[in-house]
Amino acid sequence: MFGSNRRLMCLGAVIPALAAGAATAAEPSLASLVPARQVVIIVPNAAAGPSDLLARWISPRLSESLRQNVIVDNKPSANGVVAGEFVARAPPDGSVLGVGNTGTHAINATLYRKLAYDPVRDFVPVVNVFGAGLVLAANIKLEARTIRDIIAMSKAKPGSVNVAIAGATGEIATNSIKAMAGIDMNNVPYKGGAPAVIAVISGESHFVLTPYGGVSAQVDAGKMKILGTTSGRRDPVIPNVPTLAESGLPGFEISMWYGVFAPAKTPAAVVNAYNREITQIVNQPEIKNQITGQGFEIMTGPAEQFAEVVRRDAEKFRKVILDFKMQQDL
Protein backbone atom coordinates (compact mmCIF):
# COMPACT_ATOMS: atom_id res chain seq x y z
CA MET A 1 0.00 0.00 0.00
CA PHE A 2 2.80 2.35 0.92
CA GLY A 3 4.54 1.60 -2.42
CA SER A 4 1.35 2.41 -4.33
CA ASN A 5 0.98 5.73 -2.57
CA ARG A 6 4.57 6.58 -3.33
CA ARG A 7 4.06 5.81 -7.03
CA LEU A 8 0.95 7.99 -7.03
CA MET A 9 2.89 10.86 -5.42
CA CYS A 10 5.59 10.58 -8.07
CA LEU A 11 3.00 10.58 -10.82
CA GLY A 12 1.38 13.62 -9.21
CA ALA A 13 4.67 15.50 -9.50
CA VAL A 14 5.40 14.32 -13.04
CA ILE A 15 2.02 14.96 -14.68
CA PRO A 16 1.97 18.78 -14.13
CA ALA A 17 5.52 18.99 -15.49
CA LEU A 18 4.55 16.97 -18.56
CA ALA A 19 1.48 19.17 -19.04
CA ALA A 20 3.59 22.34 -18.81
CA GLY A 21 6.04 20.91 -21.31
CA ALA A 22 3.22 20.01 -23.68
CA ALA A 23 1.78 23.54 -23.39
CA THR A 24 5.16 25.04 -24.23
CA ALA A 25 5.64 22.66 -27.13
CA ALA A 26 2.19 23.53 -28.42
CA GLU A 27 3.14 27.18 -28.88
CA PRO A 28 3.95 27.73 -32.57
CA SER A 29 7.48 28.85 -33.38
CA LEU A 30 8.13 32.35 -34.66
CA ALA A 31 9.56 30.97 -37.92
CA SER A 32 6.34 29.04 -38.61
CA LEU A 33 4.20 32.19 -38.25
CA VAL A 34 6.13 34.83 -40.20
CA PRO A 35 6.21 34.85 -44.03
CA ALA A 36 9.36 33.37 -45.53
CA ARG A 37 10.81 36.66 -46.69
CA GLN A 38 13.04 39.39 -45.34
CA VAL A 39 11.89 40.98 -42.06
CA VAL A 40 12.45 44.71 -41.59
CA ILE A 41 12.70 46.61 -38.30
CA ILE A 42 11.93 50.30 -38.85
CA VAL A 43 13.72 52.75 -36.54
CA PRO A 44 12.28 56.27 -36.11
CA ASN A 45 15.62 57.93 -35.37
CA ALA A 46 19.14 58.18 -36.75
CA ALA A 47 21.80 55.62 -35.85
CA ALA A 48 23.31 55.29 -32.35
CA GLY A 49 20.30 56.41 -30.28
CA PRO A 50 18.39 54.09 -27.90
CA SER A 51 15.80 53.11 -30.55
CA ASP A 52 18.54 52.21 -33.04
CA LEU A 53 20.52 50.26 -30.45
CA LEU A 54 17.42 48.27 -29.52
CA ALA A 55 16.90 47.21 -33.14
CA ARG A 56 20.55 46.29 -33.66
CA TRP A 57 20.71 44.29 -30.42
CA ILE A 58 17.76 42.09 -31.36
CA SER A 59 17.99 41.84 -35.16
CA PRO A 60 20.86 39.29 -35.46
CA ARG A 61 19.24 36.94 -32.97
CA LEU A 62 15.79 37.31 -34.52
CA SER A 63 17.41 36.41 -37.83
CA GLU A 64 18.69 33.18 -36.28
CA SER A 65 15.24 32.31 -34.90
CA LEU A 66 13.45 33.14 -38.16
CA ARG A 67 16.16 31.55 -40.32
CA GLN A 68 15.97 34.53 -42.68
CA ASN A 69 17.36 38.04 -43.00
CA VAL A 70 16.28 40.70 -40.50
CA ILE A 71 17.45 44.18 -41.49
CA VAL A 72 17.30 47.52 -39.67
CA ASP A 73 16.00 50.50 -41.65
CA ASN A 74 16.44 53.97 -40.10
CA LYS A 75 13.80 56.50 -41.16
CA PRO A 76 14.55 59.60 -39.04
CA SER A 77 12.10 62.51 -39.06
CA ALA A 78 10.37 64.92 -36.67
CA ASN A 79 9.42 62.77 -33.68
CA GLY A 80 9.44 59.63 -35.80
CA VAL A 81 6.41 60.45 -37.97
CA VAL A 82 7.82 59.03 -41.23
CA ALA A 83 8.70 55.71 -39.58
CA GLY A 84 5.35 55.60 -37.82
CA GLU A 85 3.38 55.99 -41.03
CA PHE A 86 5.49 53.35 -42.77
CA VAL A 87 4.85 50.74 -40.07
CA ALA A 88 1.16 51.64 -39.77
CA ARG A 89 0.68 51.00 -43.50
CA ALA A 90 2.76 47.79 -43.63
CA PRO A 91 1.22 44.31 -44.07
CA PRO A 92 0.06 42.99 -40.67
CA ASP A 93 1.86 39.67 -41.05
CA GLY A 94 5.02 40.07 -38.94
CA SER A 95 7.30 40.99 -41.85
CA VAL A 96 7.58 44.63 -40.69
CA LEU A 97 8.15 45.75 -37.11
CA GLY A 98 8.80 49.20 -35.73
CA VAL A 99 10.72 50.45 -32.73
CA GLY A 100 8.66 53.00 -30.85
CA ASN A 101 9.00 55.04 -27.71
CA THR A 102 7.11 57.37 -25.42
CA GLY A 103 7.43 60.21 -27.91
CA THR A 104 6.51 58.40 -31.11
CA HIS A 105 3.34 56.87 -29.72
CA ALA A 106 2.01 58.26 -26.42
CA ILE A 107 3.02 61.87 -27.14
CA ASN A 108 2.42 61.96 -30.90
CA ALA A 109 -1.15 60.77 -30.29
CA THR A 110 -2.03 64.34 -29.27
CA LEU A 111 0.99 66.50 -30.15
CA TYR A 112 0.23 66.72 -33.87
CA ARG A 113 -3.16 68.00 -34.99
CA LYS A 114 -3.22 66.07 -38.25
CA LEU A 115 -1.37 62.83 -38.75
CA ALA A 116 -1.88 60.37 -41.59
CA TYR A 117 -2.16 57.59 -38.99
CA ASP A 118 -3.16 57.13 -35.36
CA PRO A 119 -0.13 56.46 -33.10
CA VAL A 120 -2.23 54.28 -30.78
CA ARG A 121 -5.00 52.65 -32.82
CA ASP A 122 -2.90 51.81 -35.90
CA PHE A 123 -0.39 49.67 -33.97
CA VAL A 124 -0.30 46.67 -31.71
CA PRO A 125 2.34 46.87 -28.96
CA VAL A 126 4.52 43.75 -29.05
CA VAL A 127 6.91 44.13 -26.11
CA ASN A 128 8.18 46.92 -23.88
CA VAL A 129 11.94 46.29 -23.97
CA PHE A 130 13.59 48.85 -21.71
CA GLY A 131 13.03 52.24 -20.15
CA ALA A 132 14.08 54.80 -17.58
CA GLY A 133 12.93 58.02 -16.03
CA LEU A 134 14.42 61.37 -16.94
CA VAL A 135 16.84 63.10 -14.59
CA LEU A 136 16.66 66.70 -13.50
CA ALA A 137 20.24 67.75 -14.24
CA ALA A 138 21.20 71.22 -13.05
CA ASN A 139 24.03 73.70 -13.30
CA ILE A 140 26.62 72.77 -10.70
CA LYS A 141 26.48 76.25 -9.13
CA LEU A 142 22.70 76.27 -8.69
CA GLU A 143 21.91 76.55 -4.98
CA ALA A 144 18.87 74.27 -5.25
CA ARG A 145 19.39 70.70 -4.06
CA THR A 146 15.91 69.23 -4.66
CA ILE A 147 12.82 69.92 -6.73
CA ARG A 148 11.37 71.47 -3.58
CA ASP A 149 14.07 74.13 -3.75
CA ILE A 150 13.34 74.77 -7.46
CA ILE A 151 9.66 75.24 -6.62
CA ALA A 152 10.54 77.68 -3.84
CA MET A 153 12.80 79.67 -6.20
CA SER A 154 10.07 79.87 -8.81
CA LYS A 155 7.44 80.98 -6.32
CA ALA A 156 9.74 83.64 -4.87
CA LYS A 157 10.51 85.04 -8.34
CA PRO A 158 7.99 83.80 -10.94
CA GLY A 159 9.60 83.35 -14.35
CA SER A 160 13.15 83.49 -13.02
CA VAL A 161 13.99 79.82 -13.71
CA ASN A 162 15.01 78.79 -17.23
CA VAL A 163 14.52 75.18 -18.30
CA ALA A 164 16.42 73.82 -21.31
CA ILE A 165 13.99 71.92 -23.56
CA ALA A 166 15.44 69.33 -25.94
CA GLY A 167 12.37 67.37 -27.03
CA ALA A 168 8.69 66.70 -26.49
CA THR A 169 9.15 64.38 -23.51
CA GLY A 170 11.33 66.90 -21.65
CA GLU A 171 8.82 69.64 -22.41
CA ILE A 172 5.90 67.54 -21.16
CA ALA A 173 7.82 66.67 -18.00
CA THR A 174 8.62 70.35 -17.42
CA ASN A 175 5.02 71.43 -17.99
CA SER A 176 3.79 68.65 -15.71
CA ILE A 177 6.03 70.01 -12.94
CA LYS A 178 4.66 73.51 -13.51
CA ALA A 179 1.09 72.24 -13.41
CA MET A 180 1.50 70.14 -10.27
CA ALA A 181 3.52 72.76 -8.37
CA GLY A 182 1.56 75.78 -9.61
CA ILE A 183 4.70 77.62 -10.71
CA ASP A 184 5.91 79.54 -13.76
CA MET A 185 9.21 78.65 -15.42
CA ASN A 186 10.62 79.63 -18.80
CA ASN A 187 10.84 76.80 -21.35
CA VAL A 188 13.89 77.52 -23.54
CA PRO A 189 13.96 75.25 -26.63
CA TYR A 190 17.20 73.84 -28.05
CA LYS A 191 17.88 71.77 -31.16
CA GLY A 192 18.78 68.54 -29.43
CA GLY A 193 20.06 67.14 -26.16
CA ALA A 194 23.69 68.21 -26.55
CA PRO A 195 22.95 71.96 -27.01
CA ALA A 196 20.54 71.82 -24.07
CA VAL A 197 23.18 70.27 -21.81
CA ILE A 198 25.75 72.86 -22.90
CA ALA A 199 23.24 75.61 -22.07
CA VAL A 200 22.87 74.27 -18.53
CA ILE A 201 26.62 73.92 -18.01
CA SER A 202 27.17 77.51 -19.22
CA GLY A 203 24.43 78.85 -16.94
CA GLU A 204 22.20 79.97 -19.80
CA SER A 205 19.53 77.61 -18.42
CA HIS A 206 19.19 76.35 -14.86
CA PHE A 207 18.36 72.69 -15.54
CA VAL A 208 17.26 70.15 -18.13
CA LEU A 209 15.07 67.04 -17.93
CA THR A 210 16.80 64.38 -20.01
CA PRO A 211 17.84 60.69 -19.97
CA TYR A 212 20.70 59.99 -17.58
CA GLY A 213 22.95 58.74 -20.38
CA GLY A 214 22.95 62.22 -21.91
CA VAL A 215 24.51 63.84 -18.83
CA SER A 216 26.36 61.07 -16.98
CA ALA A 217 29.78 62.13 -18.31
CA GLN A 218 29.18 65.77 -17.31
CA VAL A 219 28.00 64.72 -13.86
CA ASP A 220 31.06 62.49 -13.37
CA ALA A 221 33.27 65.41 -14.45
CA GLY A 222 31.68 67.70 -11.85
CA LYS A 223 30.08 69.99 -14.44
CA MET A 224 26.46 69.17 -13.56
CA LYS A 225 24.51 67.73 -10.66
CA ILE A 226 21.34 65.63 -10.52
CA LEU A 227 18.53 66.78 -8.23
CA GLY A 228 16.03 64.02 -8.91
CA THR A 229 14.50 61.51 -11.30
CA THR A 230 11.03 61.49 -12.86
CA SER A 231 10.33 57.76 -12.60
CA GLY A 232 8.03 56.16 -10.03
CA ARG A 233 10.91 54.59 -8.13
CA ARG A 234 14.60 55.29 -7.73
CA ASP A 235 16.83 54.52 -10.68
CA PRO A 236 19.02 51.47 -9.88
CA VAL A 237 21.89 53.11 -11.76
CA ILE A 238 21.84 56.14 -9.42
CA PRO A 239 20.05 54.79 -6.30
CA ASN A 240 21.11 57.69 -4.07
CA VAL A 241 19.18 60.20 -6.18
CA PRO A 242 15.59 60.70 -4.96
CA THR A 243 12.58 60.72 -7.25
CA LEU A 244 10.75 64.00 -7.72
CA ALA A 245 7.76 62.34 -6.09
CA GLU A 246 9.62 61.76 -2.84
CA SER A 247 11.43 65.11 -2.81
CA GLY A 248 8.65 67.62 -3.32
CA LEU A 249 6.10 66.47 -5.94
CA PRO A 250 4.05 63.56 -4.51
CA GLY A 251 2.60 61.36 -7.23
CA PHE A 252 4.80 62.70 -10.03
CA GLU A 253 5.88 60.04 -12.54
CA ILE A 254 7.04 60.24 -16.15
CA SER A 255 9.21 57.61 -17.79
CA MET A 256 10.67 56.98 -21.21
CA TRP A 257 10.05 53.52 -22.62
CA TYR A 258 11.33 51.86 -25.78
CA GLY A 259 9.58 48.89 -27.32
CA VAL A 260 8.61 47.01 -30.45
CA PHE A 261 5.35 47.55 -32.33
CA ALA A 262 3.59 45.82 -35.23
CA PRO A 263 0.87 47.11 -37.55
CA ALA A 264 -2.68 46.88 -36.20
CA LYS A 265 -4.48 43.61 -37.03
CA THR A 266 -1.27 41.59 -36.79
CA PRO A 267 -2.46 38.16 -35.52
CA ALA A 268 -2.17 37.61 -31.78
CA ALA A 269 -0.15 34.44 -32.36
CA VAL A 270 2.49 36.42 -34.27
CA VAL A 271 2.56 39.18 -31.64
CA ASN A 272 2.93 36.70 -28.79
CA ALA A 273 5.65 34.74 -30.61
CA TYR A 274 7.66 37.93 -31.17
CA ASN A 275 7.05 38.88 -27.54
CA ARG A 276 8.47 35.58 -26.30
CA GLU A 277 11.45 35.67 -28.65
CA ILE A 278 12.45 39.30 -27.99
CA THR A 279 11.99 38.85 -24.24
CA GLN A 280 14.34 35.87 -24.32
CA ILE A 281 16.89 37.79 -26.41
CA VAL A 282 17.10 40.94 -24.27
CA ASN A 283 17.34 38.93 -21.06
CA GLN A 284 20.45 37.11 -22.27
CA PRO A 285 23.33 38.31 -20.04
CA GLU A 286 25.33 39.80 -22.93
CA ILE A 287 22.42 41.92 -24.21
CA LYS A 288 21.07 42.73 -20.76
CA ASN A 289 24.47 44.08 -19.69
CA GLN A 290 24.62 46.33 -22.75
CA ILE A 291 21.14 47.70 -22.01
CA THR A 292 21.78 48.35 -18.33
CA GLY A 293 25.18 49.77 -19.23
CA GLN A 294 23.35 52.49 -21.14
CA GLY A 295 21.42 53.42 -17.97
CA PHE A 296 18.20 51.58 -18.87
CA GLU A 297 16.16 48.96 -17.07
CA ILE A 298 14.69 45.86 -18.73
CA MET A 299 10.88 46.28 -18.88
CA THR A 300 9.72 43.12 -20.65
CA GLY A 301 6.30 41.61 -19.97
CA PRO A 302 3.14 40.47 -21.79
CA ALA A 303 2.05 42.38 -24.89
CA GLU A 304 -1.23 43.32 -23.19
CA GLN A 305 0.69 44.92 -20.34
CA PHE A 306 2.65 47.08 -22.78
CA ALA A 307 -0.57 48.08 -24.55
CA GLU A 308 -1.95 49.34 -21.25
CA VAL A 309 1.21 51.42 -20.65
CA VAL A 310 0.83 53.04 -24.07
CA ARG A 311 -2.87 53.83 -23.50
CA ARG A 312 -2.22 55.18 -20.00
CA ASP A 313 0.59 57.49 -21.04
CA ALA A 314 -1.24 58.70 -24.17
CA GLU A 315 -4.13 59.81 -21.98
CA LYS A 316 -1.89 61.35 -19.31
CA PHE A 317 0.14 63.34 -21.84
CA ARG A 318 -2.97 64.39 -23.75
CA LYS A 319 -4.09 66.57 -20.85
CA VAL A 320 -0.69 68.27 -20.49
CA ILE A 321 -0.37 68.88 -24.24
CA LEU A 322 -3.82 70.44 -24.46
CA ASP A 323 -3.57 72.43 -21.21
CA PHE A 324 -0.24 73.99 -22.28
CA LYS A 325 -1.30 74.44 -25.92
CA MET A 326 1.58 72.33 -27.20
CA GLN A 327 -0.24 71.00 -30.26
CA GLN A 328 1.42 71.73 -33.57
CA ASP A 329 1.13 71.08 -37.30
CA LEU A 330 3.64 68.99 -39.19
Would you say 167 and 80 are in contact if contact means Cβ atoms under 8 Å apart? no
Q: Give the domain extent around 196.
A: 133-229
Q: Do 219 and 274 share a domain, yes or no?
A: no
Would you say 69 and 105 are in contact if contact means Cβ atoms under 8 Å apart? no
Q: Do 126 and 162 share a domain, yes or no?
A: no
Q: Do 61 and 119 share a domain, yes or no?
A: yes
Would you say 95 and 39 are in contact if contact means Cβ atoms under 8 Å apart? yes
Q: Do 143 and 91 share a domain, yes or no?
A: no
Q: Is residue 181 part of a domain?
A: yes
Q: Is residue 27 part of a domain?
A: no
d(CA 228, CA 234): 9
Q: Is the pLDDT of residue 22 over 70?
A: no
pLDDT confidence bin for 313, thresholds 50/70/90: very high
pLDDT confidence bin for 49, thresholds 50/70/90: confident
Q: Which of 244, 259, 87 is nearest to 180 (CA)?
A: 244
pLDDT of residue 27: 84
Among 214, 229, 244, the domain boundary falls at 229
Q: How many CB atoms lie within 10 A of CB 217?
A: 11
Would you say 262 and 193 are in contact if contact means Cβ atoms under 8 Å apart? no
d(CA 170, CA 245): 17
pLDDT confidence bin for 330, thresholds 50/70/90: confident
- Per the structure, the count of domains in the chain is 2
Model confidence pLDDT, tens digit, residues 124-180: 999 999 999 999 999 999 999 999 999 999 999 999 999 999 889 999 999 999 999
Q: Is the pLDDT of residue 262 over 50?
A: yes
pLDDT of residue 25: 52
Q: Do 205 and 142 share a domain, yes or no?
A: yes
Model confidence pLDDT, tens digit, residues 59-69: 999 999 999 99
High-pLDDT (> 90) share of the chain, %: 84
Q: Is the pLDDT of residue 15 over 60?
A: no
Q: Is residue 216 part of a domain?
A: yes
d(CA 7, CA 12): 9
Mean of pLDDT over the chain? 92
pLDDT of residue 12: 52
d(CA 16, CA 157): 67
pLDDT of residue 8: 47
pLDDT of residue 19: 46
- The per-residue b/e assignment along 75-96, b for 16 or more CB within 10 angstroms, e otherwise, is beeebbbebbbbbbebebbbbb
pLDDT of residue 6: 46
